[in-house]
Structure 1
Amino acid sequence: MPKDSFLGNTGLCGGPLGLCPGESAPTPAGSPESQPGAGGAADVGGGKKKKLSGGAIAGIAIGSVFGVLLLLALLFFLCRKRSSAPRSAAAVEKGRELGMGPMDVEPKGQNGSAGGHNSVAAAVAVPTAAAAAAAATATAAAKTGGSTGSKKLIFFGPMAVAPPFDLEDLLRASAEVLGKGAFGTAYKAVMENGSAVAVKRLKDVDLPEPEFRERIAAIGAVQHELVVPLRAYYFSKDEKLLVYDYMSMGSLSALLHGNRASGRTPLDWETRSAVALAAARGVAHIHSTGPTASHGNIKSSNVLLTKNYEARVSDHGLPTLVGPSFSPTRVSGYRAPEVTDIRRVSQKADVYSFGVLLLELLTGKAPTHAVVNEEGLDLPRWVQSVVREEWTAEVFDQELLRYQNVEEEMVQLLQLAIDCSAQHPDRRPAMSEVATRIDEIRRSSLGDRQVADSAEGDEPSL
């Protein structure tokens, strides 16, 4: 605007009207004006000031916000991808394995099929932030070697020379719950090549690593055809895993007591007596490895069967691995009366437990039941009370009464079982003697049956 436009305004100065008091020189024409707060101040040279419109400012603000959100979304996506990708490979395997408590999954049925679609490492999720932190710490320890020894499977026997699989192979295997016992949970683990092993995850084991390794070495040293061998073990602060051969037919307990409804195929006498002999020889071998060597937990669920119904003794020596705070949740009907500490089971106490196992084979009754009859007696005392009344026939399992020419063999084995389950340890025979007597009973009865069959075949036909 020309200065004539501002005439009549007393005291007005600046711009075309001349310098105001205190001004030294006019602003050069064409330079940008930067007066704060003057929404539309004039330009010195008479040109118009270039300014940002409200729409441009809003656009810049919205664009900046959108850019920040896009950056955050990209970072979130990358973090998600980074945390989920290893779940199918080594991160799940090592993260869950070494700090996490792998495989703690509840069976949803008698065959434990709930675990069949889980890997060994991912059979249980880490439930808390603390557990997740422990898993991360353990994974780091695995990469660096850790302070508690190498993070790998330690093999025994022939497998120690050329291990057929390693820890990562085991942790990638599918896991199926086989059962839970006093010392931990057992799983069937199927490798990617189709081979199967049994894995026991120990609980209540708080031994220092050197002591654990010493005791587990004594267990692994027992290599016998009638004893399920300990193939390998894994030790860390939070996890102790034992690897055994997998027995496809399961346990004697399951075959004796499972599904006794109509249509069941009973366990015949020949199989039962063969199982008794094999188990006796297996326990006798364990006893032969040292004067204080014992199984410590003889029961029908620890007698496993192969496809040909051949018996193998399993889980020997596990009581030596638990700490002083260990306390079984259930009272076992197999335990000798003098045993007060399950960690210190003598060979004579093993004989008592084996005697109860023989009674279980003969009667078909599970001794783990606190009461086997209305009088509240345990299995050995109930059998003795029936025998004293000369009602011996009532002792035997009804499924055995269908077999001919085995009564004498059953009675002799019953007497041996009573001797083994005597209340006083000194009255019990040694395990080697038990195995010999079972073998003699079987040979004698087999000879008698062969003579009887031959006699029937020689009868003249009419």
Structure 2
Amino acid sequence: MAALRSVFLNGNRLSGDFPAPFLALPALVHLSLGGNRLEGAIPPALANLTRLKTLLLEENRFVGQIPDLPLPQLREFNVSFNRLNGSIPASLRSKPRAAFLGMSSLCGGPLGPCPGEAPPPSPAPAGRTPSPTTPAANNPNSGNDERNDKKGNKLSGGAIAGIAIASVVGAALLLFLLICLCRRSGRTKTRALEMPPPSPSAAVQPFDLEDLLRASAEVLGKGAIGTTYKAVLESSATVAVKRLKDVTMSEPEFRERIADIGELQHEFIVPLRAYYYSKDEKLLVYDFMPMGSLSAVLHGNRGSGRTPLDWTIRSSIALAAARGIEYIHSTSSSTSHGNIKSSNILLSKTYQARVSDNGLATLVGSSSSGPSRATGYRAPEVTDPRRVSQKADVFSFGVLLLELLTGKAPSQAALNDEGVDLPRWVQSVVRSEWTAEVFDMELLRNQSSEEQMIQLLQLAIDCVAQVPDARPTMSHVVMRIEEIKMSGGSAEEADQQQSALNQGDEMAEGPSSP
């Protein structure tokens, strides 16, 4: 397709290296591959596509350095949130900072000079531009002017000494003023770090501790990690502020961990915007999510006036949360969320789900890691809540799926001294009458989705397998949910799913309701 001008494949699930055939399209003007899973290096041969006006490669997994791309017509360019490193090439340093966000190993241009690199020269001060020299033949007074200039340019020794003394005194005064300003700033300003937003429109302007103290605030919730407030700043911006407790790590450790958390920005993760660290206060600032948590919406008032959460909403919440967790896992084989539960899944006004509190379990001390935290969600192999594997995250997400399907909170499980957790209760009921007992009544109103609900139930049971290696990866979970949402299934498939459910792990005795 040699005449192809535009390729828009953004927001899919494409994987592998950069598609080489696109490099052989001489007429290509627009190339958008953002939001996929492409990896490897960005090919230098892109420089041969001289007609390119748009090149969008953000939110992939490209590695290595950005190649030199001296494309004369390039207007839109973005490689944010990949895994690139090194120096931004000179041909791209005029692009805005938003084109290079989310990569701590990248430097140069709008991100600031690289280590050992001289900062760009400051522009010349504004002033009169010298007039071009006029030839003496065309100016009868030029000889006198030249003699006058020579006389005027001669300074006495006293004048030179006076200028030198004045310069030294002026520099000393300037240094004194700067020291005073820095000390004053250190007393009044919070050491807030603005995190890189996923897009310029989502950026939060820097603010200090006094801005937060002056803000109108209300408590949104209290947990083992800390208390969360809704704060409305004088600028009318609304943010969520989490006040951490029991943080035992040093300031350098805290800053390093927060930097790692701040880099994980994705459309299904609540972005960390700023933080404050002092001996007595540790604050984190996030985007405010107006609908609150999935826990509150799912288990809140079920009386008249409640908007039921149907299959479409719940399955979409499940998929968005799975994608957010999958992205966290994709950054490193050792990276996990650590505290997946319905109160950490936040919702927008349109019920768009985002994962919150990513990585915060590693910030708090052991006193915040008791049995009350994440009750009912914790994988059986987890002994230290500050050290949670990706397989343990999958278990917690499986409990979350069961919560969405049953409408029951895991905390409802402990009815007696022995207690029956939600996974065991579901498995025991599945053996008998799953249609009447397991699913939330709000879901059963739509009989056409019953087969899909059974498929999601099977996936949830796979996730809560007792043996960690028997659990699927989050990539597989995302793929399964996508397939479930796209297929309606049949009665025969429903029977097959029911048989599969009945052949699950060891089931509890009796269908005792949590």
Q: TM-score, normalised by structure 1?
A: 0.63
The reply to whether residue 388 of structure 1 matches residue 434 of structure 2 is no
Partner of 2:206: 165
Q: Which residue of 2 aligns with 1:195?
A: 237
Pairwise mapping of residues 54-453 of structure 1 onto structure 2 (< 5 A)?
Answer: 143=184, 145=186, 151-158=190-197, 164-167=205-208, 168-328=210-370, 330-331=372-373, 332-371=375-414, 376-445=419-488
Shift of 1:144: 6.8
2:438 and 2:394 map into 1 onto residues whose CA distance is: 21
Aligned partners of 1:271 and 1:198: how far apart in 2? 24
Counterpart contact for 1:302–1:315, Cα < 8 Å: yes
User: Is the Cα–Cα contact under 8 Å of residues 197 and 271 in structure 2 kept in the other structure?
Assistant: no
Partner letter of residue 336 of structure 1?
A
Q: Secondary structure at the match of 1:154?
A: coil
Question: Relative to structure 1, is the Cα distance of residues 240 and 396 closer, same or farther in structure 2, using a 3 angstrom cutoff?
Answer: same
Percent identity of equivalent pairs:
70
Distance 1:250 1:346 in 2: 27
1:359–1:371 distance in 2 versus 1, CA, 3 Å: same
1:152 positional shift: 2.4
Distance 1:275 1:381 in 2: 23
Q: Displacement, 1:394? A: 1.2
Q: Give CA-to-partner distance per residue, 1:230-275, whole Å, 9 cap, x none.
A: 1110000110000000000111111110011233221111000000
Q: Per the alignment, do residues 265 and 393 of structure 1 end up closer, same or farther by CA in structure 2, a change over 3 Å counting?
A: same
Structure 1: gaps of 5 or more residues? 1-140, 449-462
Evaluate the alpha carbon distance shift between residue 248 and residue 377 of structure 1 in structure 2; reply closer, same or farther with a 3 A threshold: same
Alpha-carbon separation, structure 2, partners of 1:347 and 1:370 = 24
Name the amino acid aligned to 2:207.
D
Displacement of 1:153 in angstroms is 1.1
Provide the C-alpha distance between the structure 1 equivalents of 2:377 and 2:315, rounded to a whole number of angstroms.
19
Residue number in structure 2 paired with 1:81: none
Per-residue deviation at 1:170?
2.4
Deviation of the 1:206 alpha carbon: 1.5
Q: Distance in 1 between matches of 2:435 and 2:185?
A: 66
3-state SS of 1:319 partner: helix
Report the Cα distance in structure 2 between the residues aligned to 1:309 and 1:200, rounded to whole angstroms.
Answer: 22
The answer to whether the 8 Å contact 2:194/2:206 transfers is no
Shift of 1:366: 0.5
Quote how far apart the aligned CAs of 1:369 are.
2.6
Structure 1 CA distance for aligned equivalents of residues 368 and 408 of structure 2: 28
CA distance 1:142–1:357, change in 2 (3 Å): farther
Offset of 1:201 from its aligned partner?
A: 0.2
Higher helix share: 1
1:163, CA displacement in angstroms? 5.7
- What residue identity is the alignment partner of 1:156? M
Q: For 1:188 and 1:257, locate their aligned partners in 2 and report how far apart those are by CA, in whole Å.
A: 21
Distance 1:156 1:171 in 2: 21
Q: Which string of whole-angstrom CA distances, capped at 9 and with x for unpartnered residues, describes residues 369-417 of structure 1?
A: 3426998310000001111235343100111111130000000000000
Q: Is the 8 A contact 1:204 1:323 kept in 2?
A: yes
Give per-residue Cα distances to partners, 1:1-22, cap 9 Å, x unaligned.
xxxxxxxxxxxxxxxxxxxxxx
Counterpart of 2:170 in structure 1 is none
Structure 2 stretches of 5 or more lacking a match? Answer: 1-181, 491-514
Task: State the TM-score, normalizing by the size of structure 2.
Answer: 0.56
Letter in 1 for 2:206: F
Is 2:204–2:273's contact at 8 Å kept on the other side of the alignment? no
Which residue type is aligned with residue 398 of structure 1? M
Identify which of structures 1 and 2 has the higher relative contact order when contacts are C-alpha pairs closer than 8 Å and 6+ apart.
1
One-letter amino acid of the structure 2 residue matched with residue 209 of structure 1:
E
Does the CA-based 8 Å contact 2:217-2:229 persist in structure 1? yes
The CA RMSD over aligned residues, in Å, is 2.6
User: Greater CA radius of gyration, 1 or 2?
Assistant: 1
Separation of aligned partners in 1, 2:366 and 2:308: 41
SS in 2 for 1:179: strand
SS at 1:328's partner residue? Answer: coil
* Distance in 2, Cα, partners of 1:373 & 1:352: 23
Are the structure 2 counterparts of residues 207 and 285 from structure 1 closer, same or farther at C-alpha, using a change threshold of 3 Å? Answer: same
State the secondary structure of the residue aligned to 1:368. Answer: helix
Instruction: Return closer, same or farther for 1:380/1:159 CA change in 2, 3 Å cut-off.
Output: closer
Q: Encode CA deviations 1:148-168: one digit per residue, 9 max, x unaligned.
A: x97321111049998613113
Amino acid at match of 1:155: E
**Maintained 8 Å contact 1:142/1:151:** no
Rate the CA distance shift 1:440–1:376 in 2: closer, same or farther, 3 A.
same
1:19 aligns with none
The structure-2 alpha-carbon separation of the partners of 1:158 and 1:391, relative to structure 1 and needing over 3 Å to count, comes to closer
Asked whether the 8 Å contact 2:225–2:368 carries over to 1, the reply is no
